[in-house]
Amino acid sequence: MKPATLKDVARAAGVSIWTVSNTFSGKAPVTQSTKTRVLEAAKTLNYIPNQTARALRRETPGPIVVMTASTSNAYYVDMLDGVHEMLRTSSHGVRTADLAPEGRFDQKTEDLVVTEAIQSRAAGVISTLTLSVDNHEKLCEWGIPIVYVDSQGPTAPSGSVSVTSNNEQAAYQIGEHLNYHRLDTWLLLIYPERWSTRQTRIKGMKNAAKKFGATFSILECANDSQSSAVVLEEYLRNTKVEKLAIIAGNNPLLLGTMHALQACDLRVPDQVALIAFDEFTWSTFVNPPVTLIDEDSRDIGAKAALKLIHIMQEHPQGAIRYHNQESEEVNVKLRIRASCGC
């Protein structure tokens, strides 16, 4: 499906191309009723205003747009460092956009960010959140390459490319280490399904629980520290377990876990063993130091940026189609410290 043009919108609205142009540029007055018809036609046709065409005529390179999923997660700060480092010598600027402010996803925000990326003639996109099929296909049709990092791409006609951690292996490593401590009651505090890493992390934990005969439970919360603290505190006050192992799904959920444990006067690791995903720079300064999965987010960000550069070079113009074999999965390390009982 080719992107809609001014001519397509004019035909659908029953007006001239000149009228459509003035509706969007504001260079000449257009009646409200005509403007409404033009805007409705543009929305139906998924028309993107002609800022894109002007950028192409100027032949100025557009920005690389990095779409994060909650900037409160320190993981993305390190990942962005890797992206910036790889793109430093390129002719492209970097623009960031948060698709899930404070850990709460909003589809309207995603739609708006994708539209703005197309309007600004983005040279490429790196996204930490799986976009909708519609938005993914829009970017492909407009010739804007996208690489997903720390998330899977959607199942879309154009295919997708991603750079991810081996989350299933990471989760299994956690279970294996908990078994080493003879801990057999595991609780995974995890964010909603909108974040695609959830599925593989759960799968790895389930496989480990089955292998080692552990009781494995899942506790869902919003992807922020406040929600996770409330949800976990309620669980802890209503559940009696002699020795519980808690696995926090990321940095914000780890912070929420610490708040909940403090509120319930539970000590780590004497009463509760604690492990989390996503290494962060000050993890060794926490008391006790936290056992964490280290995905090397800086390196993953650099790999995603490098992959995007290659795709941009291979597809300088026109619609883009991806081959799934181009995706990359990176192995991780379990950084063992005192919070698990070691």
- Could you report the per-residue pLDDT of 52-75, keeping only the tens digit for each? 444 443 455 688 999 998 777 888
The structural domains of the chain, with segments of one domain joined by +, span 6-56, 64-166+298-331, 167-295
Q: The tokens of 303 are what?
A: 């790999």
pLDDT (0 to 100) of residue 212: 98
pLDDT (0 to 100) of residue 57: 38
- What is the domain class of 64-166+298-331 according to CATH? alpha beta
> Where does 14-66 have alpha helices with state H?
17-25, 32-44, 51-58
- On whether the 167-295 domain is CATH 3.40.1280.10, my answer is no
Q: Which residue has the higher pLDDT, 109 or 220?
A: 220
Q: For 31-43, what is the mean pLDDT?
A: 82
Write the CA distances from 315 to 10, 40, 118, 300, 310, integer angstroms: 30, 32, 16, 22, 9
Identify the CATH homologous superfamily for domain 6-56: lambda repressor-like DNA-binding domains (1.10.260.40)
Position 269 pLDDT exceeds 60:
yes
- Do 6-56 and 64-166+298-331 agree at the fold level? no
pLDDT (0 to 100) of residue 106: 85
Position 266 pLDDT exceeds 90:
yes
pLDDT (0 to 100) of residue 60: 57
Position 105 pLDDT exceeds 90:
no
What is the residue-averaged pLDDT of the chain? 89
Quickly list DSSP for 295-338. --HHHHHHHHHHHHHHHHHH-SSS-----GGG-EEE--EEE--G
pLDDT (0 to 100) of residue 270: 96
What is the percent of the chain with per-residue pLDDT over 70, rounded to a whole number?
Answer: 93
Give the model's confidence band at 145: pLDDT under 50 very low, under 70 low, under 90 confident, else very high. Answer: very high
Handedness of CA 215, 219, 225, 227 (dihedral sign): negative
Quickly list DSSP for 269-281. TTTEEEEEES--T
The residue whose two tokens read 């934990």 is 205
- Phi, psi at residue 147, to the nearest 5°? -120, 130
Q: For 325-334, what is the mean pLDDT?
A: 90
The answer to which of 37-51, 198-212, 262-276 has the lowest mean pLDDT is 37-51
Residue-wise pLDDT tens digits, 150-192: 999 999 999 999 999 999 999 999 999 999 999 999 999 999 9
